Amino acid sequence: MAGDDARSFLHAQLTNDIDHLPADQARFAGWCSAKGRLLASFIVLPRPDGILLQLAADLVPPVAKRLGMFVLRAKVKISDFGERYAQLGVWGERAVARLAELGVTLGHLPMAVATDGELTAARVEQDRVLVVAPLAQAERLQADLGAVMSDEGEWALLDIRAGRALIEQATQDLFVPQMVNLEAVGGVDFKKGCYPGQEIVARAQYRGQIKRRMIRGRLDAQVDARPGTNLYSDDFPGQASGTVVSVAAANGGRELLAVVPIASVENGAAIRVAPAGPALEILPLPYSI
């Protein structure tokens, strides 16, 4: 996204503060409907010529189209960079050092951003970096980075272990931000100005109206679970009461993020993919909710 009004436009649309986003810092954010339900989740990456929004691939066309409806007279240009740019995941103890050897030096703070021409890199965790670069440059980087490269499945698993939800088409318009712990990873600023759904999000925060939250769990590899799959708690027999958010293969099984009733977790009730199916093994998240 480019244009003189790109920051102010996004500030009025997203759950986080974009007006005061430093040039060397990325942020998580969400975009909500008027009912406060997430239409997309983003990593917001500032660049000298504008702002990149990293989101689920299947949401790029509809989100770009819908955002465009709100531009009106603002000096904003929304473009899909998917065919011109590639995303690379770099992780491990050597990741940041290897990028520095290639001329991309990141600061030590979480979500630090570095740019090198058209390349943008963001330190989404201490030893994990998202790199967005033009296709030809990305191909050269892949050869240079070698062992510190992460494939799509590994990256998805690392996001799950970090407790970071990726909203995609199957889960669009289902959750208010707190249900997927977006505020716990710094994706919601409750002091900024208005945005679509802001009153509902604030009410849920300050009146304690959130009855479902996102957890992390593990299932056997044979169990079919994908984003949008219903989950069932033994507290509510035969009634769908939860939803799978993200899934990735892990150590012969699957790890997932899922939104489930808080009461079911507190009561130790089994949570299943089918009413009589195997129960999730609940795993810890790296933050408190």
> pLDDT confidence of 81, banded at 50, 70, 90?
confident
Q: Which range (24-28, 221-225, 260-264) has the least confidence?
A: 221-225
**Mean pLDDT calculated for residue range 77-89:** 91
pLDDT digits (tens, 9 = 90+) for 165-192: 999 999 999 999 999 999 999 999 999 9
- Residue 202 sits in the same domain as residue 249: yes
* Dihedral angle of Cα 190, 259, 225, 66, to the nearest 10 degrees: -40
- Residue 141 sits in the same domain as residue 212: no
> pLDDT confidence of 149, banded at 50, 70, 90?
confident
Q: What whole-number distance in Å separates Cα of residue 139 and Cα of residue 118?
A: 14
Using the predicted structure, report yes or no on whether residue 289 has a pLDDT greater than 90: no
pLDDT at residue 136, rounded to an integer: 93
> pLDDT confidence of 207, banded at 50, 70, 90?
confident
pLDDT digits (tens, 9 = 90+) for 279-288: 999 999 999 9
Q: What whole-number distance in Å separates Cα of residue 280 and Cα of residue 225?
A: 11
Using the predicted structure, report yes or no on whether residue 241 has a pLDDT greater than 80: yes
> pLDDT confidence of 195, banded at 50, 70, 90?
very high
- Residue 128 sits in the same domain as residue 16: yes
Assess if residue 286 is contained within a domain. Answer: no
- Residue 137 sits in the same domain as residue 212: no
Burial 89-104 (b: 16+ CB within 10 A, else e): bbbeeebbebbeeeeb
Under DSSP, the state recorded for 36 is S
For the entire predicted model, the pTM comes to: 0.94
Q: Which residue has the higher pLDDT, 163 or 208?
A: 163
**Mean pLDDT calculated for residue range 69-95:** 91
pLDDT at residue 25, rounded to an integer: 97
Which residues are CB-contacts of 136 (< 8 A; sequence separation ≥ 6)? none
206 lies in which domain range? 177-275
Mean pLDDT over the full length of the chain: 94
- Residue 157 sits in the same domain as residue 219: no
- Residue 11 sits in the same domain as residue 146: yes
CATH number at residue 220: 2.40.30.160
pLDDT at residue 132, rounded to an integer: 95
Q: Which residue has the higher pLDDT, 142 or 228?
A: 228
Asked which of 161, 188, 216 is the last residue of a domain, the reply is 161
- Residue 87 sits in the same domain as residue 146: yes
**Mean pLDDT calculated for residue range 141-163:** 91
Assess if residue 169 is contained within a domain. Answer: no
E-assigned strand segments in the chain: 27-32, 38-47, 50-54, 85-91, 113-116, 119-125, 128-134, 149-150, 212-220, 230-233, 240-250, 253-261, 271-272, 281-283
**Mean pLDDT calculated for residue range 76-89:** 91
Assess if residue 170 is contained within a domain. Answer: no
pLDDT at residue 220, rounded to an integer: 94
Q: Are 219 and 225 within 8 A, CB to CB?
A: yes
Q: Are 259 and 180 within 8 A, CB to CB?
A: yes
pLDDT at residue 267, rounded to an integer: 94
Residue 87: both structure tokens together: 């995303």
Using the predicted structure, report yes or no on whether residue 276 has a pLDDT greater than 90: no
Number of structural domains (the chain) is 2
Q: Where are the alpha helices (DSSP H) in 70-172?
A: 95-101, 135-145, 152-161
